[in-house]
Amino acid sequence: MSAGNATPTPDLQATIKAAIQATGQVAAPTSTPDIQATVNAAIQTTNTAGQAVQATVDTVVSAIVMAIPPTSTTVSSADYYTMTEEELAALIDQSVAQVVVASEQTTASTTQATSNGTVIDSEVETIEVYLAGVEQALAYADELIGVYYDLYGEYATESITALTEIEQELEVIAQSTAQTAAILEQKSQTASAAIEQLNQAAQNSSTTIDQIQVESQIWSQKVQTEIENRAAALQNLQPTEITSGQIGALQQVYEYLDALKVALGDKKISPNELSQITLLGVNSNASLNLQSEPKLQGISGKINGLNNQLARGQWSLTSKDLGGLEASLPNRPPKRPGKP
């Protein structure tokens, strides 16, 4: 199944109007109707016997459901490794929200289709369109979560634990989606015989949607808290090696620069690299601050900025700003004995 197989979005107002006019009794609404109000009006005004009333209600509600287009999901081709941690986390939040909306639409259309005990071909086609939206949204979320694990999985923080719980809920939705899709592939006759299974899959998705919305909010809060905690820890980091001479200070700066270049070679910073590099930066700044030459003292501000970016997961910005630090440095002095 693919979202590309969806039929053009129908005119909602025209569809509902045509369905209601078929009863010969109910006046057409002038704006997008409330489903329950439309049903109530149909029941109150029709003079047809029981089965005809139900048929009218089913027609109206089915028309409304089928006229609402599935939510489109955004599949980006962006280089996720150029994003900051906050930007990637926000994109994951957005992708999970898309899964939620697409799943809600699928659940609603499935429940409506099975409500009268029979699933017809047009209802199967409608649900399949919504299912394609869920599958697309799930794939997008899975892709983004994989990138986050690759970049920050080694930190083994509470945010990673919370993200794992979200991933587990997404898997439940994926299983329910696959179960529904497998039944609908056999078309309406099989679907009508499997209404209980369809309803159970819809119920599983509905329950999971409630859980995943809570977990997503918790995860977002933990990400932000951990970013702030890393930045605060950097502010409390004390130098372990201070050099009073200008050459020694520059040697430390170049050691910091070299270590940073190597670490950014794979577009990410491990916890060990973060600890080692930020300490090299703090040591360099402590030595630079002892120098009388204003140009050297100005370099410490650039190092502070790079260290702060590292702590906040803004590694792509660090890569861009690294050249500014290197361009501001005097010629490289000889390396210190025993240093890389």
Q: State the Rg of the chain over Cα.
A: 30
CB atoms within 10 A of CB 293: 12
pLDDT computed for residue 80 by the predictor = 85
How do residues 12-62 score in pLDDT, each as one tens digit? 334 334 433 443 333 333 333 343 444 344 335 434 444 443 444 344 334
Domain ranges of the chain: 1-69, 78-225, 246-328
Nearest to 278, CA basis, from 313, 248, 308, 252:
308
Q: How far apart are the first and last CA of the chain?
A: 56
- The answer on pLDDT for 115 being more than 60 is yes
**Span 291-312, average pLDDT:** 90
The token pair at 330 is: 């005097």
pLDDT computed for residue 293 by the predictor = 83
Positive or negative torsion for Cα 311, 313, 315, 316? negative
- State the pLDDT confidence band at 64, using cuts at 50, 70 and 90: very low
Higher pLDDT, 128 or 13: 128
pLDDT computed for residue 78 by the predictor = 58
Query: Residue 109, CB half-sphere, CA atoms under 13 Å: how many?
Result: 31
Cα(255)–Cα(329) distance, integer angstroms:
12
**Span 82-87, average pLDDT:** 92
How do residues 141-183 score in pLDDT, each as one tens digit? 999 999 999 999 888 688 999 999 999 999 999 999 999 999 9
For residue 132, count CB atoms less than 10 angstroms from its CB and return exposed for 0-12, middle for 13-18, buried for 19 or more. buried
CA distances from 332 to 32, 133, 142, 278, 301 (A): 71, 56, 45, 21, 19
For residue 69, count CB atoms less than 10 angstroms from its CB and return exposed for 0-12, middle for 13-18, buried for 19 or more. middle
**pTM for the full predicted model:** 0.74
Do residues 307 and 281 lie in contact, with contact meaning Cβ atoms separated by under 8 Å?
yes
CATH match of 78-225 with 3.90.660 = no
